[in-house]
Amino acid sequence: MSNTRTPATSPATDKVRERQLDRVRFTLFSTAGLGIMLVIGLVLGYAAGFLTPRGNLPSDNSPEAGFARDMSAHHAQAVAMGMIAQEKGINVAVRGFGADIALTQQAQIGMMDQWLRDWKLNPNSASPPMSWMPDSMTSLENGLMPGMATQAEMAALSSATGPEVDRLFLKMMIKHHLGGVHMVDGVLKVSENPDVVWLATSMKAGQQGEISALQELQKSVG
């Protein structure tokens, strides 16, 4: 038996590895299986949105309505990115993160869509994106919501192969999450709606944790 001792790892490194291992199970999903899970997540999101108690209903031009509409669109792009990573990624942790993010954000889309239904509001609006935020003019990047990928970037991710899928996904999703956190901070400054505050707070905690884990994974992927 070798006397070589394995160096101890730091608690932070262990945490990242644990998060990555937790996501390995998602690579067992086929593309069709993930699609089914996305539908289930959307239904569960609707149910969660439907079952929460209601107070005064937000108006059509309220920050709450604007957040629900814009964050749903923001999430939809993350779902698309996640499905590409789950299907085409090389690194097992990248594939797991892709599936996890797609499932989580699809369920949250369902919750926000149910809010709009309960508030008797159209899911679409003529208002410009981010107009509900106090700093709306500075939040847009080339007309896009914070962190959103361009059509060219999404096309590049979709057509990428091999390790390039992993690299592009990590780069784009980290930026996407940072933008999402900015939007969450914006609604938390102006809303006291308990449903919105609860979900926004949950989103922020989840995405900040994923940003740290994705950045750590980025070091090994290159």
Picking from 218, 221, 203, 219, the residue whose alpha carbon sits closest to that of residue 101 is 203
Structure tokens at 102: 């797609």
Spans of all domains in the chain: 29-123+141-221
The pLDDT of residue 193: 97
SS3 assignment, position 141: strand
Share of the chain above pLDDT 70, in %: 75
- Helix or strand or coil: residue 119? coil
What are the tens digits of pLDDT across the range 124-174? 998 999 999 988 778 888 889 999 999 999 999 999 999 999 999 999 999
Q: Residue 142 corresponds to which tokens in the numbers above?
A: 């080339």
Q: Class for domain 29-123+141-221, per CATH? A: mainly alpha
> Quick check: 41 pLDDT over 80?
no
35 has pLDDT over 70: no
User: How many Cα atoms occupy the beta-carbon half-sphere of 71 within 13 Å?
Assistant: 34
Mean pLDDT of 71-81: 99
Which pLDDT belongs to residue 121? 98
